[in-house]
Amino acid sequence: MKIVRNGNLCYACKTCQLACSFHYTKTFWPERSSITVSRNPQDGTIKWHMDATCDKCMGEEGLLCVKYCTYGALQILNNNANEQEVKEYD
Amino acid sequence: MIKRGDVKGCLAGRILRIDLSNKKIWTEETKSYAKKTLGGRGINSLIMINEIEPKVKWYDPENLLCFGAGSLVGTITPGACRVDISTINVFSGGKGSANVGGFWGPELKYAGYDNLIIVGKSKNPIYLYINDDKVEIRDASFIWGKNTFETEDILRQEIGDDDIKIALIGPAGENKVRGSAIIIDTAKAAGGSGVGCVMGDKKLKAIVVRGHKKIEVAEPEKFMKVVEKCYQKCKDEPNTRMMRKAPFNLYSNPEWEGWNTNIVIKNGQDDQWGREKRIRLMNPVTGIPSMQKGVRACYSCPIGCMPFMEINKGKYKGDKGEGFWINTIMGHACRFDISDPEAVVESWLLTNRLGLDGDYVAAGLSWIFELYEKGIITKEDTNGLELDWGNSEVLIKMIKKLAYREGIGDLLADGMVEAAKKIGRKSEYYLIQVKGQPSIEPFRIPKGWALAVSTSPVAGRHLRGATMGSNRYGPKPRPGNFGVTDYRNQAKGVVWQGKTKELEDNLGICNYVGTWSGANFLTITDFVELINAGMGLHLTEEELMDHYAVIGRNLEKAFNALHTDMSREDDIPPKRFREEGVKSGPYKGFKIDENKYNEMLDEFYELWGWDKKTGMQTRTCLEKLGLKDIAEKLAKQDKLDDN
Ligand code: SF4
Ligand code: SF4
Ligand code: SF4
């Protein structure tokens, strides 16, 4: 299973980063998250990164980052999804 | 007064205090303030009324500049990102307040502070650097004079941290232009009340914040259940998609009813704009919508209403920025009769770069255009510029003149009311202002809007209770009768909307995600559940509405009474809209009927618990809120209804 982001659908709201911190700490603590999001409001670029610490929300019902991304930018892909598909989702 | 346990969560815990005159920095606990008002604007208002003496003016060092992130900001609550900025209103002399979203407020909370209260004045330009417990007053001579975009870039490089969040002023604020804004993330403006002018007067160029701490809630699992329900509602609401691009989705349709009810043309000469101009400005292929490159959202917001714009042709091609909003259409286009899409987007970008409030620019400069048309001022007064309606080049030149106080800009920069006194010749009749602040709002057609704007404690803006129609975007039931043009029952709706806005500003929830849009997003029931699970209080809806939704407005009204001579007269719409009717369109002839308006105003005062005749606060109302000391202060000045 792999979580991928569709850059075209991402609004840079950082909700995924915050949701992930809740999974780990039961608090709201963006410094403790597997995801970091930042954006440049002048040129419009968005940086989104998920690091290797992601434990796929062990113990939770569902993946919190995916659940709280109301923009549908985060998607779950199976391990056997082909390259083409993954690329499409940035 | 509500006595239901202590606040146990959601707060960062401390209020940061900085004295710029004496270079002193200290903190105090937030809890007791939050118990009285919940947080955010409520805390700012409480501190202002307790600490600013009535004789203090906006330019005195004793004036406070207060920043308050709402109590739910930094949690994952939908749209909880807002900051209230309060200070003495440079226009009215009473309470000033502007509200802004983005990422700065959450960062302040992660740094460990709910509110930031600045007193005193620096001699030299400075900026504040807040990195958790490290708080420094730093020299800002290297950024003084730079526009907001440049300043943001330079500070990022200087500090070397991409995650800093910055609230800053542009050249307009530095030059103490009255209608200056505080700009956040280069895109979001805290516009009203002249908050940027006060920041400039304190020689404070920017406030840089970086936080690494956490926000805890009282009952995490329970809180998250409520939050999950709220997100689901926002996701399921069929209007969400439309609202993401509301300026485009609504106004691209030349038949949309808002074109008839919300628009003011040529500084109030008419409320109806030609169909071909609507189409030229908002054509999806060649107009403003074609410049939209994406949409962005504020922190933890599931709606996301901020288009990212890039001008795609003409002289300003390549200029870009985030956050284009409906006011730009109302203000920079219709008010000047400008239908050139690129110029309208450029004029909006320019106000952000120079740190001006877009509404002030639109209301103030369109007044000057009309004075030119009427021959009250001439080319000699305008440094040779021909201020003709529809001339976008001249508008852009005038915006720069205003920010840099060049020529006629210097006259206007001290406020339009002052300028009208100097110009004379009936010019004040054409100035659309409420309590001294220029206003772009529609008055003649939407009566709930007119009532809310005219009675706003922070002078002439719509966010303190304006109502448009019962079904603006969705089915949410609301009190009162919301036929847009009716007078009857409007007061109920305006008071209810005003109360919910109090809650939203204290909690830090964007009112678009809250109750204002009418879509099925967050409700009062959700607020109570979030407060109880998050802050560990045990409130009922009644307690929330009877106390926390009322106390803030009363603090602001009392502040106005103590600091100014405002009376019932100041809650009446501008004279022009009582005398001149709409000239064309389906609402031709509509104007404010003074008798009917006054009936509406009577009911409005009564519903807030104030004296129906004078609008003065009553002892009963204030004592019920635990504000006995404030009642005494008002009584001493003969500004309390003691019956
Ligand atoms: S929650 Fe979705 S839209 Fe928001 S930053 Fe994360 S991926 Fe982007
Ligand atoms: S799946 Fe869970 S752990 Fe992994 S990034 Fe998303 S929220 Fe964090
Ligand atoms: S609705 Fe718009 S302004 Fe409000 S928080 Fe969301 S993105 Fe920001």
Q: Is the pLDDT of residue B483 over 50?
A: yes
Domain boundaries, chain B: 14-210, 241-437, 447-636
Contact A41 B186 (CB under 8 A): yes
Ligand 1 pocket, A22 CB below 6 A?
Answer: no
Mean pLDDT of B387-398: 97
* Nearest Cα to Cα of residue B123 among B139, B143, B145: B139
pLDDT at residue B481 in the model: 47
B447-636 folds as 1.10.599
Cβ-based neighbour number of residue A85 at 10 Å: 12
Q: Which ligand is nearest to the CA of A47?
A: 1
pLDDT at residue B490 in the model: 87
Q: Chains A and B: how many Cβ contacts under 8 Å?
A: 87
Cβ-based neighbour number of residue B466 at 10 Å: 23
CA distance A41 to chain B (A): 6
B65 touches B198 (CB < 8 A): yes
Q: Is the pLDDT of residue B487 over 80?
A: yes
- B206-253 confidence digits (pLDDT tens): 999 999 999 999 999 999 999 999 999 999 988 888 888 777 888 899
pLDDT band for B478, please (50, 70, 90 cuts).
low
Burial of residue B133 (CB within 10 Å: 0-12, 13-18, 19+) is exposed
CATH class of B241-437: mainly alpha
Out of A13, A32, A39, closest to residue B301 by CB: A13
Q: Is the pLDDT of residue B345 over 50?
A: yes
Distances (CA, A) of B123 to B16, B141, B166, B188, B362: 21, 11, 22, 28, 32
pLDDT at residue B468 in the model: 61
Q: Which residue has the higher pLDDT, B326 or A27?
A: A27
pLDDT band for A68, please (50, 70, 90 cuts).
very high
pLDDT at residue B476 in the model: 53
Q: Quote the CA–CA distance of B632 and B623 in Å, as a whole number.
A: 10
Out of A12, A43, A68, closest to residue B76 by CB: A68
- B605-631 confidence digits (pLDDT tens): 999 999 999 999 999 999 999 999 999
- B529-586 confidence digits (pLDDT tens): 999 999 999 999 999 999 999 999 999 999 999 999 999 999 999 999 999 999 999 9
pLDDT band for B2, please (50, 70, 90 cuts).
low
Q: Say how many CA atoms lie within 13 Å of B293 toward its Cβ.
A: 17
Mean pLDDT of A22-41: 96
CB within 8 Å of B528: residues ≥ 6 apart: B539, B540, B541, B544
Separation of CA B334 from chain center: 21
The yes/no answer on whether domain B14-210 falls in CATH 3.40.1190.20 is: no
Q: Residue B50: in which H helix or E strand, if any?
A: helix B40-51
- B278-303 confidence digits (pLDDT tens): 999 999 999 999 999 989 999 999 99
Mean pLDDT of A57-85: 85
pLDDT at residue B48 in the model: 98
Q: Quote the CA–CA distance of B227 and B379 in Å, as a whole number.
A: 59
* Nearest Cα to Cα of residue B101 among B531, B509, B527, B521: B509
Q: Which chain B residue has the Cα nearest residue A68?
A: B231
- CB of A30 within 8 Å of a chain B CB? The answer is yes
Ligand 3 pocket, B513 CB below 6 A?
Answer: yes
pLDDT band for B203, please (50, 70, 90 cuts).
very high
A11 touches A70 (CB < 8 A): no
pLDDT at residue A80 in the model: 66
Q: Is the pLDDT of residue A30 over 90?
A: yes
Q: Quote the CA–CA distance of B151 and B159 in Å, as a whole number.
A: 12
pLDDT band for B63, please (50, 70, 90 cuts).
very high
Q: In degrees rounded to 5, what are phi and psi of residue B187?
A: -130, -30
CB within 8 Å of B592: residues ≥ 6 apart: B443, B444, B450, B573, B577, B578
Give chain B's contact residues with A (Cβ, < 8 Å).
74-76, 103, 110, 149, 152-153, 162-163, 185-187, 212-217, 220-221, 224, 228, 231, 234-235, 240, 293-302, 304, 308, 310, 320-323
Ligand 2 pocket, A37 CB below 6 A?
Answer: no
Distance (Å) from CA B294 to ligand 3 centroid: 15
Ligand 3 pocket, B305 CB below 6 A?
Answer: yes
Q: Is the pLDDT of residue B394 over 90?
A: yes
- B121-151 confidence digits (pLDDT tens): 999 999 999 999 999 999 999 999 999 999 9
- Computed on alpha carbons and rounded to an integer, the radius of gyration of chain B in Å comes to 23
pLDDT at residue B261 in the model: 87
- Computed on alpha carbons and rounded to an integer, the radius of gyration of chain A in Å comes to 13
Q: Quote the CA–CA distance of B349 and B295 in Å, as a whole number.
A: 16
B522 touches B79 (CB < 8 A): yes
pLDDT band for A85, please (50, 70, 90 cuts).
very low
Q: Is the pLDDT of residue B503 over 90?
A: yes
Q: Residue B128: in which H helix or E strand, if any?
A: strand B126-131
Q: Quote the CA–CA distance of A49 and B156 in Å, as a whole number.
A: 20
Q: Is the pLDDT of residue B480 over 70?
A: no
Domain boundaries, chain A: 2-77
A12 touches B296 (CB < 8 A): yes
Q: Is the pLDDT of residue B173 over 70?
A: yes
pLDDT band for A5, please (50, 70, 90 cuts).
very high
CA distance A83 to chain B (A): 26
Distance (Å) from CA B225 to ligand 1 centroid: 20
pLDDT at residue B482 in the model: 55
Tokens for B304, please give them. 């996301």
pLDDT band for B443, please (50, 70, 90 cuts).
very high
pLDDT at residue B1 in the model: 53
pLDDT at residue B475 in the model: 47
Q: Is the pLDDT of residue B118 over 50?
A: yes
Out of B149, B212, B220, closest to residue A31 by CB: B212
Mean pLDDT of B36-60: 97
pLDDT at residue A89 in the model: 42
Mean pLDDT of B323-340: 92
Which residues from B are below 8 Å from A43, CB to CB?
320
Mean pLDDT of B153-173: 96
Q: Which ligand is nearest to the CA of A56?
A: 2
CB within 8 Å of B94: residues ≥ 6 apart: B88, B435, B457, B458, B459, B556, B559, B560, B563, B564, B566
pLDDT at residue B493 in the model: 87
Ligand 2 pocket, A74 CB below 6 A?
Answer: no
Which residues from A are below 8 Å from B153, CB to CB?
42
What are the start-end ranges of the H helices in B92-205?
Answer: 104-110, 148-159, 171-174, 195-201
Q: Which residue has the higher pLDDT, B65 or B6?
A: B65
pLDDT at residue B242 in the model: 81
pLDDT at residue B469 in the model: 54
- CB of A59 within 8 Å of a chain B CB? The answer is no
Q: Is the pLDDT of residue A90 over 60?
A: no
Q: What secondary structure does DSSP assign to B67-92, as a single string?
A: EEE-TTBTBS-TTB--EEEEEE-TTT
Out of B76, B228, B310, closest to residue A18 by CB: B76
pLDDT band for A24, please (50, 70, 90 cuts).
very high
